[in-house]
Amino acid sequence: MDFSGDSVDVAVIVVAAGSGTRLGRPEPKAFAPLAGRPMLSHALDGIFTLAEPVQLIVVAPDAELQSARAIVTASAGPAIGYTSVVAGGATRQLSVAAGLAAVAPGVTVVLVHDAARALTPAAQFEAVIAAVRATGSGVIPALPVVDTIKRVDAAGTVQETVDRAELAAVQTPQGFVRSELDEAYADPAADFTDDAALLAAFGHPVGTVAGDELAFKITTPWDLARAERLLAAPAAAASAPRVGTGMDVHAFAPGSADAADAGPELWIAGLYWPGQRGLSGHSDGDVAVHAVCDALLAAAGLGDIGGIFGTDDPRLAGAHGEVFLRETKRLVEQAGFAIGNVSVQILGNRPKLSPRRVEAEALLTGILNAPVSIAATTTDGLGFTGRGEGVAAIATALLVPSAALGEGV
């Protein structure tokens, strides 16, 4: 999504300074190719799809700073003003310290993430941020340990079976209150393998949220091959054109039809309709745009708008349709599809679409970079739309496999 605003409250430090000798690659691990892109580029995907702006700090080897900046620039888009690249240290802890030194003064929540966990979804970042804010303490993602764990001696002889109910496999990003992290890094007691251990050494509590299997750490060639297969799965699924249908309905906000001043603004098909009462909804209530998003997501097999964006996310309160369309387009393209065309039918007594039909079609076509046609009809007084209680929209979307377009098919 587009990031805007004068300040940010959250910083994400991405540690990409490790050598990765176990991966067996000539370049540092974060710069190794993964499905045609550097691993670091994949690691940034989950960050640049967050609904709120964050300060991004990438910590890279000194010899790779130029490459890291190029990767960040290619990934950041409109958020480039919120990013920086700094040189790392000889240990992970020194690298995190270098990143922490670059955190902006107004930031209160800091996440530390390993670039080697390149497939970590945006939802894991958001869960950690929300938990740090809710608890006021450190939070780390964790998965239950499913294997039987044995304690063995130096000779490999089993000493005991460890109760796995008390164990968890820890992932990143790990999130912290900025003041506590600053305190711990001001005079670290020892070199720790993760930041949660360092915070615990200073007596700060650390909680957990549910981790994600996709956030596994790429350490060995086998891990890299596994990540390659997972990234190839969406592209493999995109082998034929797909058609999706979406529908959305919103009631008019309470009040008279002509009194727009006391209620929400009316937004339909990406356009503001002045002088008319708006539609009720958590965002701007744009039924046409929401139906288009649902049609695109359905065609790509990605679920629906409620599952992707949430129906009550406070960060999307009053958000306009362009926010949803651009992110939906990105998700569809990431799944291996290009948008062929979209058709939208709006059902309602008002507003009168015909004077602005061309304007609306041009706007949506420009956002999606694909033809969008819009039509409108009434229901001859039948149903809630006929009674003037609300507006409905139905959309149909055609998706074409990106690979087919590349081959000129």
Of 105, 29, 16, the C-alpha closest to 61 is 16
Q: Are 305 and 293 in contact (CB under 8 A)?
A: yes
Is 92 among the annotated ligand-binding positions? no
Q: Which helix (H) or strand (E) holds 339?
A: strand 337-347
Is 378 among the annotated ligand-binding positions? yes
Q: How far apart are CA 144 and CA 123, in angstroms?
A: 18
Is 69 among the annotated ligand-binding positions? no
Where helices occur in 301-377 by DSSP H, the ranges are 305-309, 321-334, 357-368
Is 258 among the annotated ligand-binding positions? no
Q: Are 328 and 308 in contact (CB under 8 A)?
A: yes
Is 15 among the annotated ligand-binding positions? no
Is 380 among the annotated ligand-binding positions? yes
Alpha-carbon 267 to chain mean position = 25
Is 387 among the annotated ligand-binding positions? yes
Long-range contacts of 129-132 (CB under 8 A, 24+ apart): 129/10, 129/52, 129/175, 131/175, 131/207, 131/209, 132/175, 132/176, 132/177
Is 305 among the annotated ligand-binding positions? yes
Is 384 among the annotated ligand-binding positions? yes
Helix-helix angle 287-300:321-334, to 10 degrees: 10
Q: Which helix (H) or strand (E) holds 338?
A: strand 337-347
Q: How far apart are CA 189 and CA 237, in angstroms?
A: 50
Is 113 among the annotated ligand-binding positions? no
Q: How far apart are CA 51 and CA 48, in angstroms?
A: 8
Residue whose structure tokens are 């890291």: 68
Q: How far apart are CA 190 and CA 366, in angstroms?
A: 55
Is 153 among the annotated ligand-binding positions? no
Q: How far apart are CA 185 and CA 168, in angstroms?
A: 25
Q: Which two tokens stand for residue 41?
A: 């580029």
Is 306 among the annotated ligand-binding positions? yes
Alpha-carbon 406 to chain mean position = 26
Q: Per the annotation, where are the binding residues?
A: 248-250, 282-283, 290, 304-306, 377-380, 384, 387
Q: Per the annotation, where are the binding residues for a divalent metal cation?
A: 248, 250, 290
